[in-house]
C-alpha cells in the first residue's frame, strides 16, 4: 500500500510542485518573520548584555504606564539623593546616576560642524547621555581625548564621529527642547571594541548638562551599581530594594539588560505581528488550495482507489495512503518553506540596511522554535487540508472501479444551503450593528459579522457558483463564440471545484477591497474635516508615521513667530499620557497641548459642549466618545499622569467632537509644562497677516526650519495631501503584503486548471481533432481562468465593500464622516484579477494546446 | 486468393477525395521498429462509402489517422483533394480538419458540456462561419434527433450519441468523413440504424465516407472494402455482402 502511495506521488510530481508551492510560500513568510525577529532580538540582547555587564543592580523609578510604540515604559523620576542611599547598602561598592534622552524627529539631535544631522531618523537612535565617571560602570572606553568636564563639552562614539568627519576640538550643535546649544568635542569613545552601539549615535555630557537637556535638574532616571562580589546579584538587588523609598525599584543587571532589549524589540513587534498576520492569511489561502487539489486528485483516482478497495484494501488503508501522500508533501513544503524563509529574512535585513537602518550583522538566528513552527505549520496545514479529501477517498465504493470516472458535479446539498444561509444571516445581522448602534463599540461585532460573511460565502459558494459563472460568462460567447461558450461551461461544470478555487482568491481580494475602500473613505473624511475645521494658513510639523509624531523644540515656534508676515503661531505640544477616570479606568493615549487663545485662530473644531477657548490652566478638553464612555460632563474631574511622573487633577472644560483635529485629549500649555520633563511641539500653525503673501512667508519659514531634521512647512493643500499620503502609504504597505495571498490564489487557479485539463484530456483531443486550433484551445482555458478569478474578485470586493461601509459607519465618532468608494481603484482590482487569471492560465493553457491529439484520443 | 470482383461496382468516379502514395509509418527505432504502414497506395473515391478491414494491429487506425491529418507519415504522401498534407503547417492542418474533414470515433465523440445541437455545429462554430441552417436541418432530420437537440450527451443513449457524432461529421459538409469503428460499442440494431444512415448520406447527399470496422455486417453497408494486413493493402472487394467479407476475413485467421 505504501508503495502504491509513493509511486502515485512520484507520478504526479509535476502537479504536486505547484501544490507544494502554495504552502511553501506561506511557511516561508512565517518562518522568515521568525528568523528575522530572532536575529533582531539577538542583536539587541547581545548589545545590552554587553552594556550592562558590570552593572550588578539597577535602580529605576516604578512604571507609571506603558508608553507603547517601543519607547519603553514611562517611569517615575528619582531624586538624585537616592544615589547615596544605594551606595550605602551593604555589599554595594559603587553607585552612579545615569540620565539618557532619546533623539527623535527634530528633538535631541546632533548637528555636525557642517550642519548635517548625525545618524538617520529611521534607524538606530541618537542617545544623549550622562558620562559615567566610574571606570567600572562606564560601558565606554575613551579612544581619544578625555571625558567631558564642563557643561559645554561632550564626547561621542568613534563611529558617529568618523561618519560625520568630526575631530576633537570641533564644535557641534545639539538641538534639545531648549533650542540649539554649541559644545566642544573633547573625546571619542569605543563601545567595548565596537565603534558604535548597534549603529546608535551616543553623545555623552556631564551629568548636570544631561540632566538639563532631559529636563531632570536634580534628578536621575536610574542608578547603576556594582557590588563588592560578596553576594549574588539577586541578593544584592533585594537588599537595595529594601532600602529604597517608595516609587523606586531595584533589578539585577541581567534583568536590566533584558528590559532594555525588550523595549527596543517592542519597536519591531508591530512589524513582526503584521508579517505574522499576513503569513497566516497566506496559509489560510494555501489551505484552500491544498484541499482543493487533493479533492481533485482523489476524484481523478477514484477508479484506482476503487480497484484497491475491490482487491481488498481496507478503508483505513485508503485513508492512510492519502494522508501519507499529504505528509510527504507537507514535509517537502516545510523544508522548502524554511529555506525560503531564511532567504526572505536575509533579504529583509539587507533591505533594511539599504534603507539606512543598518543593523549590526551578527549572523542569522535560526532557532529550533522556527524549525519546529515551520514543520508544524507546513505539515499541519497540509494534513488538515487533505483530511476531507482523504475521507472522501475512503467513501469510494469498490464498484466505482467498473463505472465511468465521473467528475463531481454536486454542489447544492441541502445541509450546505441551510448552513450557508444561516451563517450569512448571522454575518449580515452582526454587520448591521454598525447601522443599528453606529458607534465604535460595535466594531468587534462588525468584525465578527465580516468574518461570518466570508465563511458563509465560501460555504454557499458551490451552490451559487454555477448560476454566477453563467451570468459572468454570459457575455463571453458573444465575443468569443464557441470558445467562450466552452470556457463558461467548463467553469460551471464542477461548482465545488470552481468555488473552492475562487474562494482562495476571494479572501485576499475581500481584504484588499476592504482596505482600499476604507482607506479612501478615511482620506476623504480627513480631507473634509481638515478643510472644514482648520483655519491656519501654513503649518510647520514633524514627520508623522507609525507611533508618536516626530517633534521639534518649542524654541522653533519662537523663531517662526519672528518671521515677517506671521500674524500668529499656534503651538501644538505632544506627550503620551495616562488618563484616570472616576470609574477607576485608565487609558494611555496621545495628549495634545494648546494655547486656547491662539488655537481659536488656527482651528474651528466641532464641539459637543463648550468651546475650545474654555480650556484653562488645569483644564482638559475630552472627545465626546471618551466622555460618553466614562460619563463625563463639564466640570468633572480626571487625572493625568505625564511622562514626567507627576499626576495632576484636571477639570473637564469642554467636550469636543472632532477627533481629526483634536484627538481625544487636549490640555493647556501650563498643565503640559507641569506633567512633562521634556517639551516638544508636533505642530506650529501659522496664521499669515492680512495682505502678506503666503508663498513668501512659506519660503521664509522654510529657511527657519532648514537645519531641522524631519520638520516640514506645508500650506493648507499640502497639509491635507500629507494626511492623505500617510494613509495611502500605510494602505500600500498592507496591500503589498496581501499580494502574497493573491499570488498563492493564482497558483491555486493554475493548479485547478492543470488538474482539470488533465481530466479532460480526451475531450481536448476530440476538440483538436474536429478542428479547434491551438490558439482557440488556449483562449478557452484562458477565459475559464478569467471567469474563475472574476468570480472570486467580484464576491470578494462585494464583501470588502459591505465590511468597510459598516466600519466607516461605526467610526463616525473618529472623524470618519464620509463613505467613499474609490471606483478607479476597484476597477483596477477587477482588471488586475482578470489579468491574474490570464497569467495563471498560461501554463495550463500551453499544456492543453500541446496535447498530442492521438495520445489524447487514446487516453482512457 | 480470389480476384476482387469489380464487375458489379457502381460508376467509378474520376476524382479521388483522398489518396496516399507509398504511405509508410514506422514506430520506434532500428531494432524495435514496428512498421504500421508499409508503403500503402490507396485512393478513396469521392462520393463513395469505403470500409477498411483487417486483423487487429494491421494498421487500419494508423492509415486512417494519417489520411485524416491527425498523424504524420514516416515517408510517402497523403493528399486530401489536391492538397499534400506533409506540406501543411500545424495551423493549416487544423484548418483542413475543421473545414474539409469529418470524424466519428468509436466512443467519446461529444463534448459533455455542450448540447447535442452545439456539438453538431461545433466545427462550424470553431471556424466562426455561418451555419448553413437548411443543410444542418436536413442532417438533423435525417439522423432523427430533432427532439433531442437541447440534451447534453450524458442524457442521450449510446446510439443517440453516435448519431449526434455522425451528424456533426456531416454538418460542415466536409469533403470526406472518417469513422473509426463508429458502431463498435453499439448493439446490432442500433448499429444498423447508424450504418444505414451513413450509407444514406453517401447515396442521397453524395458524401464520401471511409470507415474502419471489424464487423463484416457493418462492412457490407459500404460500397467497397479494403483489406489490410501487416501494413499492406492485401485485397479489395466491391459491393460486399457480409458473407463474402466474413469468408475473406476467415482466411486471415487461417494464415495466422
Ligand atoms: N504509438 C504507437 N507506438 C508504437 N507502435 C504503435 C503505436 N500506434 C500503433 N502502433 C503499432 O502499429 C501497428 C498498427 O496499429 P493500428 O492501431 O493502426 O492497428 P489497427 O489495425 O487499428 O488495430 P485494431 O483493430 O486493434 O484497432 C500495431 O502493431 C501497433 O502496435
Ligand atoms: Mg484501430
Q: Once rounded to an integer, what is the mean pLDDT over residues B35-40?
A: 90
Q: Which domain holds residue A133?
A: 56-266
Ligand 1: which of B20, B26, B27 to mutate, most ligand atoms within 8 Å of CB? B27
- pLDDT exceeds 50 at position B5: no
Indicate the residue among A667, A688, A709 that finishes a domain.
A709
Count of residues making up chain A: 860
Work out whether the CA dihedral A29, A34, A39, A43 comes out positive or negative.
positive
B-chain residues within 8 Å CB-CB of A772?
94, 98, 126
Residue whose C-alpha cell reads 487539489 in the numeric block:
A293
Chain A, window 3-32: residues with a beta carbon less than 8 angstroms from a chain B beta carbon: none
Whether residues A772 and B127 touch (CB distance < 8 A) is answered with: no
Could you say which of A489, A492, A774 has the minimum Cβ distance to residue B114?
A: A489
CB A632 within 8 A of CB A585: no
φ/ψ (deg, to 5) at A629: -65, -30
User: Per-residue DSSP letters for A83-110?
Assistant: HHHHHTSTTEEEEEEE-EEEEBTTBSEE
Question: Which one, of A115, A110, A135, A112, lies nearest residue A203 by Cα?
Answer: A110
Ligand 1: which of B26, B35, B58 to mutate, most ligand atoms within 8 Å of CB? B58
CB A2 within 8 A of CB A321: yes
What is the model's pLDDT at position A141?
A: 87
What is the model's pLDDT at position B211?
A: 93
Nearest CA to ligand 1 atom 4: B27
Q: Which of the 8 DSSP states describes residue A148?
A: -
Q: Once rounded to an integer, what is the mean pLDDT over residues B198-208?
A: 87
Nearest CA to ligand 1 atom 31: B57
The residues lining ligand 1, judged by C-beta closer than 6 Å to any ligand atom, are B 27-28, 34, 36, 54, 56-62
**Scanning every residue of chain B, which has its alpha carbon at the shortest distance from the alpha carbon of A477?**
B125
What is the model's pLDDT at position B11?
A: 44
Is residue A51 a part of any domain in this protein? no
Q: Name which residue leads in pLDDT, B134 or A357.
A: B134
pTM of the full predicted structure?
Answer: 0.77
Distance CA A579, CA A565 (A): 39
Tell me the CATH architecture of domain B47-54+94-250: 3-Layer(aba) Sandwich (3.40)
Whether residues B114 and A485 touch (CB distance < 8 A) is answered with: yes
Q: Once rounded to an integer, what is the mean pLDDT over residues B57-64?
A: 90
- pLDDT exceeds 60 at position B29: yes
Q: How far is CA A400 from CA A9, A406, A762, in A?
A: 22, 9, 20
Is B90 touching A (CB cutoff 8 A)?
yes
Gap from B18 CA to chain A (nearest CA, Å): 18
What is the model's pLDDT at position A544?
A: 65
Name the packing angle between helices A13-51 and A716-759 (round to 10°): 140
Query: Cell numbers of A462, please?
Result: 458551490
Whether residues B113 and A489 touch (CB distance < 8 A) is answered with: yes
Collapsed DSSP state (helix, strand, coil) of residue A747? helix
Could you say which of B108, B110, B123 has the minimum Cβ distance to residue A771?
A: B123
Q: How far is CA A785 from CA A501, A505, A599, A732, A810, in A?
A: 10, 12, 58, 27, 37
Gap from B166 CA to chain A (nearest CA, Å): 12
Indicate the residue among A650, A682, A709 that finishes a domain.
A709
Considering its fold, how many domains does chain A have in total? Answer: 2
- pLDDT exceeds 90 at position B70: no
Atom of ligand 1 nearest to the CA of B60: 21
What is the model's pLDDT at position A619?
A: 92
Whether residues A767 and B111 touch (CB distance < 8 A) is answered with: yes
**Long-range interactions of A849-854: CB distance < 8 A, separation 24+:** A849/A774, A849/A775, A849/A777, A849/A778, A850/A774, A851/A761, A851/A764, A851/A765, A851/A768, A853/A765, A853/A768, A853/A769, A853/B70, A854/A765, A854/B65, A854/B70, A854/B71
Whether residues B90 and A774 touch (CB distance < 8 A) is answered with: yes
Distance CA B246, CA B215 (A): 8
CB A205 within 8 A of CB A126: no
Question: Which one, of A225, A229, A218, lies nearest residue A243 by Cα?
Answer: A225
- pLDDT exceeds 60 at position B32: yes
Distance CA A89, CA A152 (A): 34
**Scanning every residue of chain B, which has its alpha carbon at the shortest distance from the alpha carbon of A768?**
B94
Could you say which of B90, B111, B125 has the minimum Cβ distance to residue A763?
A: B111
B-chain residues within 8 Å CB-CB of A857?
70, 105, 108
Query: Cell numbers of B230, please?
Result: 501487416
Nearest CA to ligand 1 atom 11: B36
CB atoms within 10 A of CB B149: 15
Is residue A481 a part of any domain in this protein? no
Interacting residues of B92 by C-beta distance below 8 A, sequence separation 6+: none
Whether residues B108 and A766 touch (CB distance < 8 A) is answered with: yes
What is the model's pLDDT at position A798?
A: 92
B-chain residues within 8 Å CB-CB of A493?
112-113
| Low pLDDT (below 70) residues in chain A | 1-15, 51, 67-72, 104-105, 120-123, 198, 267-268, 352-362, 399-412, 438, 544-549, 644, 858-860
Q: Once rounded to an integer, what is the mean pLDDT over residues B208-229?
A: 92
A-chain residues within 8 Å CB-CB of B112?
493, 763
Gap from B11 CA to chain A (nearest CA, Å): 31
Whether residues B112 and A854 touch (CB distance < 8 A) is answered with: no
What is the model's pLDDT at position A287?
A: 82
What interface predicted TM-score (ipTM) does this complex get? 0.83
Is B230 touching A (CB cutoff 8 A)?
no
What is the model's pLDDT at position A401?
A: 58
What is the model's pLDDT at position B177?
A: 93
Indicate the residue among A658, A680, A709 that finishes a domain.
A709
**Scanning every residue of chain A, which has its alpha carbon at the shortest distance from the alpha carbon of B109?**
A766
**Residue B15 CA to chain centroid, in angstroms?**
18
Whether residues B114 and A857 touch (CB distance < 8 A) is answered with: no
Gap from B10 CA to chain A (nearest CA, Å): 31
Chain A interface disruption, residue of B122, B158, B179, B185, most A CBs within 10 A: B122
CB A391 within 8 A of CB A479: no
Chain A interface disruption, residue of B62, B94, B176, B178, most A CBs within 10 A: B94
What is the model's pLDDT at position B14?
A: 52
What is the model's pLDDT at position B79?
A: 92
CB A849 within 8 A of CB A774: yes
Per-residue burial over A281-314, b if 16 or more Cβ lie within 10 Å, else e, is bbbbbbbbbbbbbbbbbbbbbbbbbbbbbeeebe
Is A408 touching B (CB cutoff 8 A)?
no
CA of B130 to the centre of ligand 2 (A): 34
Whether residues A762 and B95 touch (CB distance < 8 A) is answered with: no
Q: Which of the 8 DSSP states describes residue A676?
A: -
Query: Cell numbers of A35, please?
Result: 528568523
What is the model's pLDDT at position A186?
A: 95
- pLDDT exceeds 90 at position B209: yes
Is A254 touching B (CB cutoff 8 A)?
no
Amino acid at each position: 500500500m505504501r508503495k502504491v502511495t509513493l509511486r502515485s506521488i512520484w507520478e504526479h510530481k509535476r502537479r504536486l510542485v505547484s501544490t507544494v508551492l502554495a504552502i511553501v510560500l506561506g511557511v516561508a513568510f512565517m518562518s522568515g518573520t521568525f528568523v528575522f525577529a530572532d536575529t533582531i532580538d539577538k542583536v539587541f540582547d547581545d548589545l545590552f548584555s554587553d552594556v550592562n555587564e558590570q552593572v550588578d543592580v539597577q535602580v529605576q523609578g516604578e512604571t507609571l504606564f506603558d508608553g507603547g510604540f517601543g519607547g519603553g515604559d514611562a517611569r517615575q523620576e528619582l531624586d538624585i539623593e537616592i544615589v547615596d542611599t544605594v551606595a550605602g547598602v551593604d555589599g554595594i561598592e559603587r553607585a552612579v546616576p545615569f540620565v539618557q534622552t532619546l533623539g527623535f524627529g527634530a528633538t535631541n539631535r546632533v548637528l555636525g560642524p557642517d550642519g548635517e544631522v548625525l545618524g538617520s531618523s529611521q534607524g538606530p537612535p541618537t542617545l544623549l547621555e550622562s558620562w559615567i565617571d566610574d571606570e567600572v560602570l562606564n560601558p565606554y572606553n575613551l579612544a581619544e581625548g578625555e571625558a567631558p568636564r564642563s557643561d559645554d563639552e561632550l564626547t561621542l562614539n568613534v563611529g558617529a564621529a568618523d561618519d560625520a568627519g568630526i575631530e576633537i576640538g570641533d564644535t557641534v550643535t545639539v538641538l534639545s527642547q531648549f533650542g540649539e546649544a554649541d559644545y566642544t568635542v573633547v573625546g571619542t569613545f569605543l563601545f567595548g571594541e565596537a565603534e558604535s552601539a548597534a549603529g546608535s549615535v551616543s553623545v555623552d555630557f556631564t551629568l548636570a548638562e544631561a540632566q538639563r537637556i532631559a529636563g531632570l535638574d536634580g534628578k536621575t532616571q536610574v542608578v547603576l551599581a556594582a557590588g563588592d562580589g560578596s553576594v549574588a546579584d539577586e541578593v544584592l538587588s533585594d537588599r537595595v530594594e529594601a532600602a529604597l523609598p517608595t516609587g523606586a525599584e531595584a533589578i539585577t543587571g541581567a534583568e536590566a539588560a533584558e528590559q532594555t532589549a525588550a523595549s527596543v524589540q517592542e519597536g519591531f513587534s508591530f512589524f513582526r505581528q503584521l508579517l505574522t498576520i499576513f503569513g497566516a492569511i497566506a496559509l489560510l489561502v494555501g489551505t484552500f488550495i491544498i484541499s482543493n487539489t487533493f479533492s481533485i486528485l482523489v476524484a481523478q483516482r477514484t477508479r484506482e482507489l476503487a480497484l484497491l478497495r475491490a482487491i481488498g484494501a481496507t478503508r483505513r488503508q485508503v485513508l492512510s495512503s492519502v494522508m501519507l501522500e499529504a505528509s510527504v508533501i507537507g514535509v517537502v513544503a516545510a523544508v522548502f518553506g524554511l529555506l525560503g524563509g531564511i532567504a526572505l529574512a536575509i533579504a529583509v535585513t539587507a533591505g533594511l540596511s539599504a534603507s539606512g537602518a543598518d543593523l549590526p550583522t551578527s549572523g542569522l538566528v535560526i532557532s529550533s522554535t522556527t524549525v519546529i513552527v515551520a514543520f508544524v505549520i507546513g505539515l499541519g496545514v497540509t494534513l488538515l487540508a487533505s483530511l476531507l479529501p482523504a475521507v472522501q477517498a475512503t467513501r469510494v465504493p469498490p464498484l466505482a472501479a467498473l463505472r465511468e470516472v465521473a467528475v463531481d458535479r454536486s454542489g447544492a446539498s441541502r445541509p450546505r444551503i441551510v448552513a450557508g444561509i444561516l451563517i450569512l444571516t448571522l454575518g449580515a445581522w452582526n454587520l448591521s450593528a454598525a447601522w443599528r448602534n453606529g458607534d465604535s463599540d460595535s466594531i468587534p461585532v462588525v468584525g465578527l459579522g465580516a468574518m461570518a460573511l466570508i465563511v458563509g460565502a465560501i460555504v454557499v459558494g458551490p451552490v451559487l457558483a454555477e448560476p454566477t459563472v453563467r451570468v459572468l460568462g454570459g457575455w463571453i460567447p458573444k465575443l468569443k463564440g464557441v470558445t467562450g461558450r466552452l470556457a463558461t461551461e467548463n467553469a460551471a461544470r464542477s461548482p465545488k471545484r470552481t468555488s473552492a478555487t475562487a474562494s482562495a482568491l476571494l479572501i485576499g481580494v475581500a481584504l484588499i477591497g476592504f482596505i482600499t475602500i476604507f482607506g479612501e473613505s478615511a482620506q476623504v473624511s480627513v480631507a473634509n474635516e481638515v478643510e472644514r475645521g482648520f483655519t491656519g494658513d501654513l503649518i510647520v510639523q514633524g514627520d508623522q508615521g507609525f507611533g508618536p509624531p516626530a517633534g521639534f523644540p518649542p524654541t522653533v515656534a519662537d523663531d517662526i513667530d519672528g518671521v515677517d508676515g506671521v500674524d500668529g503661531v499656534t503651538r501644538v505640544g505632544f506627550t503620551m499620557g495616562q488618563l484616570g477616570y472616576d470609574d477607576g479606568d485608565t487609558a494611555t493615549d496621545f495628549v495634545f497641548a494648546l494655547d486656547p487663545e491662539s488655537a481659536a485662530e488656527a482651528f474651528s473644531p466641532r464641539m459637543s459642549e463648550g468651546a475650545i477657548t474654555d480650556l484653562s490652566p488645569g483644564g482638559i478638553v475630552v472627545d465626546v466618545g471618551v466622555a460618553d464612555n466614562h460619563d463625563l460632563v463639564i466640570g468633572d474631574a480626571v487625572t493625568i499622569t505625564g511622562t514626567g511622573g507627576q499626576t495632576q487633577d484636571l477639570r473637564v472644560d469642554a467636550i469636543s467632537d472632532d477627533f481629526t483635529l483634536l484627538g481625544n485629549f487636549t490640555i493647556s500649555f501650563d498643565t503640559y509644562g507641569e506633567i512633562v520633563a521634556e517639551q516638544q511641539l508636533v505642530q506650529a500653525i501659522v496664521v499669515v497677516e492680512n495682505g502678506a503673501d503666503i508663498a513668501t512667508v512659506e519660503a521664509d519659514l522654510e529657511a527657519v526650519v532648514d537645519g531641522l531634521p524631519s520638520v516640514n512647512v506645508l500650506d493648507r493643500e499640502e497639509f491635507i495631501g500629507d494626511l492623505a499620503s500617510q494613509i495611502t502609504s500605510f494602505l500600500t504597505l498592507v496591500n503589498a503584503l496581501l499580494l502574497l495571498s493573491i499570488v498563492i490564489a493564482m497558483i491555486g487557479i493554475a493548479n485547478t486548471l492543470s488538474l482539470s485539463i488533465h481530466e479532460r484530456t480526451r475531450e481536448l483531443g476530440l476538440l483538436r481533432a474536429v478542428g479547434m486550433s491551438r490558439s482557440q484551445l488556449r483562449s478557452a482555458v484562458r477565459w475559464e481562468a478569467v471567469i474563475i478569478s472574476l468570480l472570486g474578485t467580484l464576491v470578494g470586493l462585494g464583501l470588502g465593500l459591505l465590511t468597510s461601509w459598516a466600519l466607516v459607519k461605526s467610526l463616525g465618532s473618529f472623524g470618519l464622516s464620509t463613505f467613499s468608494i474609490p471606483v478607479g481603484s476597484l476597477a483596477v482590482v477587477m482588471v488586475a484579477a482578470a489579468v491574474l487569471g490570464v497569467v495563471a492560465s498560461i501554463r495550463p493553457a500551453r499544456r492543453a494546446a500541446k496535447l498530442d491529439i492521438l495520445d489524447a484520443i487514446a487516453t482512457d | 486468393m480470389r480476384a476482387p470482383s469489380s464487375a458489379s461496382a457502381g460508376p467509378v468516379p474520376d476524382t479521388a477525395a483522398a489518396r496516399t502514395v507509398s504511405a509508410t509509418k514506422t514506430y520506434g527505432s532500428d531494432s524495435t521498429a514496428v512498421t504500421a504502414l508499409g508503403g500503402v497506395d490507396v485512393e478513396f473515391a469521392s462520393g463513395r462509402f469505403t470500409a477498411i478491414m483487417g486483423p487487429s494491429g494491421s494498421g487500419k487506425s494508423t492509415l486512417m489517422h494519417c489520411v485524416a491529418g491527425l498523424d504524420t507519415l514516416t515517408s510517402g504522401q497523403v493528399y486530401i483533394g489536391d492538397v499534400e498534407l506533409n506540406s501543411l503547417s500545424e495551423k493549416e492542418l487544423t484548418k483542413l480538419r475543421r473545414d474539409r474533414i469529418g470524424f466519428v470515433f468509436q466512443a467519446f465523440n461529444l463534448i459533455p458540456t455542450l448540447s447535442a445541437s452545439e456539438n453538431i455545429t461545433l466545427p462550424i462554430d470553431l471556424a466562426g462561419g455561418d451555419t448553413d441552417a437548411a443543410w444542418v436541418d436536413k442532417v438533423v432530420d435525417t439522423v432523427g434527433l430533432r427532439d433531442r437537440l437541447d440534451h447534453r450527451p450524458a442524457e442521450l443513449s449510446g446510439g443517440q450519441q453516435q448519431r449526434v457524432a455522425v451528424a456533426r461529421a456531416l454538418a460542415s459538409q466536409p469533403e470526406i468523413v472518417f469513422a473509426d469503428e463508429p458502431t463498435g460499442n453499439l448493439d446490432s440494431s442500433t448499429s444498423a440504424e447508424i450504418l444505414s444512415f451513413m450509407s444514406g448520406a453517401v447515396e442521397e447527399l453524395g458524401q464520401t465516407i471511409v470507415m474502419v470496422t471489424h464487423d463484416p455486417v457493418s462492412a457490407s453497408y459500404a460500397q467497397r472494402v479494403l483489406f489490410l494486413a501487416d501494413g499492406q493493402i492485401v485485397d479489395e472487394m466491391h459491393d460486399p455482402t457480409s458473407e463474402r467479407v466474413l469468408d475473406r476475413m476467415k482466411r486471415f485467421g487461417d494464415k495466422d
